């Protein structure tokens, strides 16, 4: 079978392999799953199309999935997030750069949007599958939902027999999706319908992608079962919070090296990501101001000791502005015009529409200066006495992966252990008799006992001594000694 792939530089594989080796040591969850399930091969027969930041940590995930029997094709879910050496190492696998024997990866740092959607198409287009659908993907592992979106839009337009014409208001990315689907519809009018029919399920990594899945399920349009990995407690309460606490300052430092201590940092949104962001900035000595739309989260921020204000009120005070909302249009061009000279603006939510980069580019007289890749100075009224500028990180895309290397291995071991278990759940239960199917075309979270298992896999590495419940105590609390220890509605 053809081994196609596209990475920046295959000769980086050795450097990538060294980093992967060190990451494995920091990813006890994934390594224990390899030890537990390696012989059993629960993912044998699974052909996973993966769309998730192609980092060193993701390399350990990919190689865990293949160690458990899966075949995989991979793309990144962001144009800036790939670590080229990790991508190269995954492609080479146990082979050499001249004779790669690993996994087909289609990802490099600094893709254009057009290239990005091409890579998304590649992970869903398996060699030989046009003549033998058996060879196509049968599982999706998604982050942000772009692979799932492409498939669902493809099916929708094939059913309609035509792809709609883009309107002026459609974002560039959507126009590119429409172009891609117009091309595939002309070449093969049933491509996506055939493909979707074979997909047994999707496991989704992040808040934004999960939101899209619930929308599809509510409209009755979800084409296969989905596991919401994000809302495993060991994902969102760890990756989104402690991961951000690490990777946000890392991104700001690598991009600007500006001292955060003593500065005023404005964090938009106080969900899991916002909590990690605010804590990190406070830890660096910044005075943090939070903006929120939800009274509960606003009150939490106030009780945690942060000033809570509207963005408009604090524009002139902030030195650093970070969006964490997963919403759109949070920092608009007029906001940026009102900021201090050299204020830093960055997004750590999923999509770039949190920050109005298009509006920024339309400001009369504005000039964009590249300081270095993924760090741009936007100069207002350039060449006049009123010249001022702001610094925008990663062109408004998630800065911890654009300007740095994302979350550290240990926290991603929690997230990716959930991903692996979720893939095993959907794949091994796909053949249950119709009346007994645990997973239908809905969105599910993993059972709490598995969530607790993921946490348990990480305790030894940190020298945690867990107290054991006695049988007597367990009876008193009406629990099983082996868990689960909390009811479903418990919030942690
Ligand atoms: P969340 O739902 O817990 O928090 C988002 C918060 O933003 C909510 O409290 C909401 O009320 C608030 N919000 C919404 N619109 C707002 C507005 N206009 N102004 C102020 N606040 C507003 O979601 P979570 O888990 O914190 O995720 C946030 C985003 O971060 C998502 O897009 C998610 O996919 C992404 N994410 C990014 C990661 C990264 O590595 N960069 C890691 C994990 C998640």
pLDDT tens sequence across 390-408: 999 999 999 999 999 999 9
One-character DSSP codes across 412-430: HHHHHHHHHHHHHHHHHTT
For residue 295, give the CATH number of its domain: 3.40.50.720
356 Cβ closer than 6 Å to some ligand 1 atom: no
> How high is the pLDDT of residue 374?
98
Q: What is the largest CA-CA distance in the chain?
A: 77
Tell me the torsion sign for CA atoms 242, 243, 246, 252: negative
DSSP E strands in 193-286: the ranges are 201-204, 226-228, 264-268
Nearest CA residue ID for atom 44, ligand 1: 240
82 Cβ closer than 6 Å to some ligand 1 atom: no
Q: Do both 67 and 148 map to the same domain?
A: yes
Asked if residues 337 and 316 have their Cβ atoms less than 8 Å apart, the reply is no
275 Cα nearest atom in ligand 1:
26
Distance 163 CA to ligand 1 centre (A): 32
> How high is the pLDDT of residue 133?
85
Distance 123 CA to ligand 1 centre (A): 28
Q: Do both 177 and 142 map to the same domain?
A: yes
Integer Cα distance of 409 and 243 in angstroms:
9
Section 125-141 average pLDDT: 93
Q: Do both 362 and 422 map to the same domain?
A: no
Asked if residue 333 belongs to a domain, the reply is: yes
Q: Do both 329 and 417 map to the same domain?
A: no
Integer Cα distance of 335 and 289 in angstroms:
16
Asked if residues 409 and 86 have their Cβ atoms less than 8 Å apart, the reply is no
Asked if residue 226 belongs to a domain, the reply is: yes
* 3 or 102, which is more confident: 102
The parent domain of residue 290 ranges over: 241-349+352-396
Nearest CA residue ID for atom 43, ligand 1: 240
Q: Residues of the chain with pLDDT > 90: what percent?
A: 97
Which residue, of 334, 366, 396, is where some domain finishes?
396
418 Cβ closer than 6 Å to some ligand 1 atom: no
> How high is the pLDDT of residue 130?
85
Q: Do both 229 and 289 map to the same domain?
A: no
Q: Do both 411 and 379 map to the same domain?
A: no
How many structural domains are present in the chain? 2
Residue 38: CB atoms within 10 Å: 13
Section 118-128 average pLDDT: 97
Q: Do both 91 and 165 map to the same domain?
A: yes
Asked if residue 185 belongs to a domain, the reply is: yes
This complex has an ipTM of 0.99
Distance 78 CA to ligand 1 centre (A): 17
Instruction: Give the dihedral of Cα atoms 32, 38, 43, 49; nearest 10 deg.
Output: 70
292 Cβ closer than 6 Å to some ligand 1 atom: yes
Integer Cα distance of 266 and 184 in angstroms:
44
Q: Do both 220 and 302 map to the same domain?
A: no
pLDDT at 416 over 70: yes
Asked if residue 487 belongs to a domain, the reply is: no
Asked if residue 275 belongs to a domain, the reply is: yes
Banded pLDDT at 1 (limits 50, 70, 90):
low
Integer Cα distance of 378 and 238 in angstroms:
34
Which residue, of 329, 364, 396, is where some domain finishes?
396
Alpha helices in 38-163, H assignment, sequence order: 56-67, 84-92, 113-124, 146-160
For residue 69, give the CATH number of its domain: 3.40.50.1480
Tell me the torsion sign for CA atoms 110, 157, 141, 449: positive
> How high is the pLDDT of residue 131?
87
Q: Do both 431 and 372 map to the same domain?
A: no
253 Cβ closer than 6 Å to some ligand 1 atom: no
Asked if residue 473 belongs to a domain, the reply is: no
Section 161-174 average pLDDT: 93
Burial class (CB in 10 A: 0-12, 13-18, 19+), 479: middle
Distance 7 CA to ligand 1 centre (A): 31
Asked if residue 485 belongs to a domain, the reply is: no
Nearest CA residue ID for atom 19, ligand 1: 292
Section 19-28 average pLDDT: 98
Section 303-314 average pLDDT: 98
Banded pLDDT at 250 (limits 50, 70, 90):
very high
> Mean pLDDT of all residues in the chain?
97
Q: Do both 370 and 324 map to the same domain?
A: yes
Q: Which residues of 90-126 are buried (b: 16+ CB within 10 A; e: fewer)?
A: bbbbeeeeeebebbbbbbbbebeeebbbbbbbbbbbb
Q: Do both 161 and 304 map to the same domain?
A: no
Distance 429 CA to ligand 1 centre (A): 32
Asked if residues 358 and 406 have their Cβ atoms less than 8 Å apart, the reply is no
Section 170-198 average pLDDT: 96
294 Cα nearest atom in ligand 1:
11
Section 418-444 average pLDDT: 97
Distance 272 CA to ligand 1 centre (A): 7
Asked if residue 466 belongs to a domain, the reply is: no
Both tokens of 349, joined, read: 């939510």
Q: Residues of the chain with pLDDT > 70: what percent?
A: 100
Q: What count of residues does the chain have?
A: 492
346 Cβ closer than 6 Å to some ligand 1 atom: no
Q: Do both 177 and 291 map to the same domain?
A: no
Predicted TM-score (pTM) of the model is: 0.96
Mutate to test the pocket of ligand 1, among 274, 310, 394 (most ligand atoms within 8 A of CB): 274
């Amino acid at each position: 079978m053809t081994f196609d792939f596209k990475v920046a530089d295959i000769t980086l594989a050795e450097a990538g392999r060294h980093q992967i080796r060190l990451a494995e040591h920091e990813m006890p969850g994934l390594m224990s799953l390899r030890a537990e399930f390696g012989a059993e091969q629960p993912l044998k027969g699974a052909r996973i199309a993966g769309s998730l930041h192609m980092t060193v940590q993701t390399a350990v995930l990919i190689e865990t999935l293949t160690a458990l029997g899966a075949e995989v094709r991979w793309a990144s879910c962001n144009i800036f997030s790939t670590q080229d050496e990790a991508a190269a190492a995954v492609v080479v696998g146990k082979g050499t750069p001249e004779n790669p024997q690993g996994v087909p990866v289609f990802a490099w740092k600094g893709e254009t949007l057009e290239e990005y959607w091409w890579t998304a198409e590649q992970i869903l287009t398996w060699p030989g599958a046009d003549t033998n659908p058996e060879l196509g993907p049968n599982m999706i592992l998604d982050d942000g939902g772009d692979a799932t979106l492409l498939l669902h839009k493809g099916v929708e337009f094939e059913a309609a027999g035509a792809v709609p014409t883009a309107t002026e208001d459609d974002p560039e990315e959507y126009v590119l999706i429409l172009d891609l689907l117009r091309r595939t519809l002309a070449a093969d009018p049933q491509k996506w319908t055939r493909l979707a029919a074979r997909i047994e399920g999707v496991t989704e990594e992040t808040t934004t992608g999960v939101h899209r899945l619930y929308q599809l399920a509510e409209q009755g349009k979800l084409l296969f079962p989905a596991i919401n990995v994000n809302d495993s407690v060991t994902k969102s309460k760890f990756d989104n919070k402690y991961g951000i606490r690490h990777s946000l300052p890392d991104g700001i430092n690598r991009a600007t090296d500006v001292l955060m201590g003593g500065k005023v940092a404005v964090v938009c949104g106080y969900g899991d990501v916002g909590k990690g962001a605010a804590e990190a900035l406070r830890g660096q000595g910044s005075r943090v101001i939070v903006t929120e739309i939800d009274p509960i989260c606003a009150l939490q921020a106030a009780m945690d000791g942060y000033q809570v204000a509207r963005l408009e009120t604090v524009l002139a005070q902030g030195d650093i502005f970070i969006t964490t909302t997963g919403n759109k249009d949070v920092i608009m061009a007029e906001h940026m015009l009102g900021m201090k000279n050299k204020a830093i603006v960055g997004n750590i939510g999923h999509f770039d529409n949190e920050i109005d980069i298009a509006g920024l580019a339309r400001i009369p007289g504005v000039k964009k200066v590249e300081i270095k890749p993924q760090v741009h100075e936007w100069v207002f009224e350039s060449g006049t006495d009123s010249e001022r500028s702001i610094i925008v990180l990663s062109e408004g895309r998630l800065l911890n992966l654009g300007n740095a290397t994302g979350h550290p291995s240990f926290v991603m071991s929690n997230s990716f252990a959930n991903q692996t278990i979720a893939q095993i759940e959907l794949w091994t239960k796909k053949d249950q008799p119709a009346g007994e199917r645990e997973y239908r075309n809905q969105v599910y979270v993993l059972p709490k006992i598995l969530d607790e298992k993921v946490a348990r896999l990480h305790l030894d590495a940190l020298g945690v001594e867990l107290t054991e419940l006695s049988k007597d105590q367990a009876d008193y609390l009406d629990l099983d000694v082996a868990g689960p220890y909390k009811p479903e509605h418990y919030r942690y």
